[in-house]
Structure 1
């Protein structure tokens, strides 16, 4: 017969209790972070960037509308090919902010952030700080993704409280499914138009 060793009940309970506490702690950490791709600092940077692209006024800005969350989710999934662009771009944006204003980008006053983004838009920033990455390409990508997150469906993580729809003055549009039973969006080109 093989020599089977049994774990004493007291040791089993200690190990189980430790596992439960550690497991629940890990769950809390990942829940409190809430980011799929971004680090906390990258998320803070993305929030500030998006909020400059669509700032708050009578309606919530892109930050409050959850656009950073939208971008984060998309980078983890369908936009994964842009992960490196965002990781390097956000870091380079912050380095540029530090070099020009001695302050990290999310802490800049709005007029300074706009000044920096205008330089970014023209590509008029230090190439050394951007490590061969195009600041113009990064900024244009961030603008595109901010618009998609702000005006797109809330089911993708952005446009929280349907801020984009309210800004445009439209109700929550119905989602088109892939079922053929719905009326076509465009008329059939084979039919005569009267």
Structure 2
């Protein structure tokens, strides 16, 4: 019989030896390194590391035709009407926000898979349409004005506020059939984009003067809230701050 002490030692490093060699490497890597010294005061600017170009609200329409723009403004004015709490969706720049989004990557669904086959899905599967946002707005706005001319003798924007409210309600309930696009699909994308424009950072063209943030008491894109997270049910009196700062910060 062989003795256990005569068993051959396994080749290579043992676990103990491996751990020991790793510790030696860590000790060697922890030798002092001279700290980098920054001379002077570095100048910080909003969006310097992840720049998002601010929307130029005075640059004219980038996607909408003039008639389409007037129609969208008339829609968002009724979806978010002016009241004692805030200005209307039109005055808040929601149409500008939508126009710039359609002129960019969102308009063509550039970040979504848009190759067929296309077929109706379940509600849980979400939107399965082959139409991009650009196509939905172009078809929907044209069909909406065609319907208004045929039924009311005027474009949507030329109708009274009450008549516009009724038509929007009919679109939502699918009581109006638009040519080339489902009425509910069109209504839902306009409603969604209007809400986004009203509550998004002003950098993107909507929420003018941070009107919705002031209405809600939302403090905006502030850098650090650690001193305030435990102060519950207290009005801190913060003035909202956009990603690009506040208007009074501009030189």
Instruction: State the TM-score, normalized to the length of structure 1.
Output: 0.69
| CA apart distance, 1:41 | 1.1
Partner of 2:50: none
Aligned equivalent of 2:162: 111
**Are the aligned partners of 1:33 and 1:40 in contact in 2 as well (CA < 8 Å)?**
no
Q: 1:156: which partner in 2?
A: 204
Cα deviation code 1:19-46 (max 9, x no counterpart)? xxxxxxxxxxxx9870111111111111
1:1-194 matches, within 5 Å, as 34-58=60-84, 59-81=86-108, 82-126=133-177, 130-171=178-219, 173-174=220-221
Which protein is bigger by CA-based radius of gyration? 2
Query: C-alpha displacement at 1:72, in angstroms?
Result: 0.3
What residue ranges of structure 1 are gaps of 5+ in the alignment?
1-30, 184-194
Alignment check: 8 A CA contact 2:71 2:156 kept: yes
Question: In 1, distance between residues paired with 2:182 and 2:92?
Answer: 27
Q: Secondary structure at the match of 2:105?
A: coil
- Other-structure match for 2:13: none
- Any idea what SS the aligned residue of 2:92 has? coil
Number of residues of Structure 1 aligned to a counterpart in Structure 2? 145
Distance 1:132 1:93 in 2: 11
What residue is the counterpart of 1:23 in the other structure? Answer: none
Q: What runs of 5+ residues in structure 2 fail to find an aligned partner?
A: 1-56, 109-132, 227-251
**Partner SS for 1:143:** helix
Distance 2:205 2:138 in 1: 20
- Per the alignment, do residues 182 and 175 of structure 1 end up closer, same or farther by CA in structure 2, a change over 3 Å counting? closer
Aligned equivalents of 2:168 and 2:140: distance in 1?
12
Residue 131 of structure 1 and its aligned partner are, at CA, apart by 2.3
Change in Cα spacing, 1:93 to 1:148, as seen in structure 2 (3 Å) is same
- 1:128-152 deviations in whole A, cap 9, x for unaligned? xx22311100100000000000011
How high is the TM-score relative to the length of structure 2? 0.54
| Larger relative helix fraction | 1
